Chains A and B, each alone.
Chain A
Amino acid sequence: MTELWPLFLRATFVENMPLSFFLGLCTFLALSRRPETAIGLGVAMILVLGVTVPLNRIVYDTLLAPGAWAWAGLPEVDLSYLSLIAFIGVIAATVQLIEMLTDRFFPAIHGAFGVFLPLLTVQCAILAGSLFMVERQYTLAESAVFGLGAGTGFAVAVVMLSAVRNRLAYADLPAGLRGLGITFVFTGLLSLGFASFALMVAE
């Protein structure tokens, strides 16, 4: 339990979702054209990952894990193969709930999110957060920290990339490299930079 801060740093920098695990790249590339949209996406990612990962931990522990039904006299029941559908359901419901809540109480924030929030339902990075959490057997507190860290890492990376792309729009590039091509090359460079964070957290 004392390892929470290193875990946060690890999730943010060392195991950066888009740059070292290639997760959530579709939105990462599609929405990083402007810094404003990138910031909106980043905040939404932190929020959704921070909520869904611990929530899925609870769902997994109480309903799906092997032996979770022991209290009902069914100790052999192992529903872990259903986790994929359960997680997707939880994520979709959470996203919907966050959208309704922010719309009701914080209309300004809701306006800033725009279309990103519903899109996050089918974002690989979010589902991956929950799947990693099961695979690595985090406790509830660790899951919450991991979710927040992963979201922060995504936000940092997407804002950095959008800043680069914003400047790059004025560059005179070969026609074939324009747009997607150069974005990949720059993501590669960013990823190379993030690789040097690997030593930041001791194993």
Chain B
Amino acid sequence: MTTRTPLLHILTDPLLRQNPVTLQILGICSALAVTTSLATAITMCVSLTVVVTLAAGIISTIRRHIPDSIRLIVQIVIIASLVIVIDQVLQAWFAEISRTLSIFVALITTNCLVLGRTESFARHNAPLPAMTDAFGNGLGYSLILVVIGGLRELFGQGQLLGRQVLPLAETGGWFTPLSLMLLAPSAFFLLGGLVWAIRSIRPEQAEVPEHMPPKAEPAE
């Protein structure tokens, strides 16, 4: 058992200091794929947060009964069942968004964020801290997704949540949409920039260089 840390601390830690996407490199796959518009990004965030919180709760509740050797399979089956439920709910009530998300809802199953949190935290902690941690990580993930999704939709189409924010040049405004923003590379650039920005604010997150420049050797 780890030492007890205040719940609030567990909740807020993953937001910026231990952000799952920019520091732990978890759940990047879906983070980039669904961010072409803010609405899909938000749907994805809500789905993922629900799945990770419930999965952490369930796994932490039965953590003493899971044999160590098959714990990965047990965890995946629990996560997959939750994801199927979410997928069916989305298909029933949000058919439009469900189609844009296509297979990415199903891919929450193999999202490293969910498995990473259940494996590293929920497995060793009581249900309440485990769910708090999972919820916090879900929020941290959502934070990055909403920022990237918002930027891509704003500059790619001049819209936010489907409403025209920047007047388009075609309709007499001044804004020309950057179609690059809607393509895959921009997501990488934005996330790279975001990582840089966060690590500039918090220099302790910067990685140590693998190689130091050679020192000038004394002349022989």
- A181 to B207 CA separation, bound complex (whole angstroms): 10
CB contacts (< 8 Å) of B189 on chain A: these are 184-185, 188
CB contacts (< 8 Å) of B206 on chain A: these are 175-176, 178-179
- A93 to B213 CA separation, bound complex (whole angstroms): 47
CB contacts (< 8 Å) of A51 on chain B: these are none
- Does B107 sit at the interface, judged by CB under 8 A? yes
Give the interface segment out of B5-13, B40-48, B78-86, B134-142: B78-86
Asked if B103 contacts A121 (CB within 8 A), the reply is no
CB contacts (< 8 Å) of A132 on chain B: these are 103
CB contacts (< 8 Å) of B192 on chain A: these are 177, 180-185, 188
Contact for A22 among B28, B77, B102, CB less than 8 A: B28
CB contacts (< 8 Å) of A73 on chain B: these are none
Chain A contact residues: helix, strand, loop or mixed: helix
Chain B contact residues: helix, strand, loop or mixed: helix
Give the interface segment out of A4-12, A81-89, A100-108: A81-89
Within the complex, the shortest CB–CB distance from B179 to chain A, in Å, comes to: 12
- A180 to B107 CA separation, bound complex (whole angstroms): 23
Within the complex, the shortest CB–CB distance from B31 to chain A, in Å, comes to: 8
B 154-196 contacts with A by CB, 8 A? 183-189, 191-193, 195-196
Asked if A22 contacts B185 (CB within 8 A), the reply is no
Tell me whether A26 and B25 are in contact in the complex, defined as CB-CB below 8 angstroms, given that A81-B88, A85-B80, A127-B110 are known contacts.
yes
Within the complex, the shortest CB–CB distance from A12 to chain B, in Å, comes to: 16
- Does B132 sit at the interface, judged by CB under 8 A? no
Asked if A84 contacts B109 (CB within 8 A), the reply is yes
Within the complex, the shortest CB–CB distance from A138 to chain B, in Å, comes to: 14
Nearest A residue to B75 via CB reads: A122
CB contacts (< 8 Å) of A189 on chain B: these are 185
Asked if B107 contacts A92 (CB within 8 A), the reply is no
- Does B144 sit at the interface, judged by CB under 8 A? no
- A residues engaging B (CB < 8 A)? 19-26, 29-30, 81-82, 84-85, 88, 92, 121-128, 131-132, 135, 169-170, 172, 174-185, 187-189, 191-192, 195
